[in-house]
Amino acid sequence: MSDIKRLSAGPRMSQGVIHGNTVYLAGQVALGAPGTSVAEQTADILSRIDALLAEAGTDKTRILSATIWLADIANFAELNGVWDAWIVPGQTPARACVESRLAAPEFTVEIGVIAAL
């Protein structure tokens, strides 16, 4: 049996969980930029993802899958502008992006990723 390691574990959820050679990150929202533009929220989230992946011992070049929730799909291009500048060419993960109401109205983007260690 493999050990399970939890990152930033709280009473309700962990920000990440490592099992085997995989890290699963919780959906990240822009805690450092609530109520700002989609571009600013996306940049904040991607920075949080970078930090959590580093804590797990990996990085964005090892992302296997990303799921993105947008409060308004009309902001798809704005999100993609920041995503495209962040992601490493040739290292793009499988990705899904859907429109969904998020947990709080000040958040317009949420991103969850699964990465290899």
What residue spans define the domains of the chain? 4-116
Are 25 and 117 in contact, with CB atoms under 8 Å apart?
Answer: no
List Cβ neighbours of 12 (8 Å cut-off, separation of 6 or more).
none
- Dihedral over alpha carbons 97, 90, 83, 99 (to 10 degrees): 0
Supply the pTM of this predicted model. Answer: 0.96
Q: Write down the pLDDT at residue 93.
A: 99
Q: Write down the pLDDT at residue 73.
A: 99
Q: Write down the pLDDT at residue 1.
A: 59
Distances (CA, A) of 67 to 1, 3, 11, 61: 28, 25, 24, 16
Strands 14-19 and 4-9: antiparallel
Question: CATH number of the domain at 4-116, please?
Answer: 3.30.1330.40
Averages of pLDDT over runs of 10 residues in the chain (117 residues) are 90 98 99 96 98 99 99 99 98 99 97 99
Q: Write down the pLDDT at residue 108.
A: 98
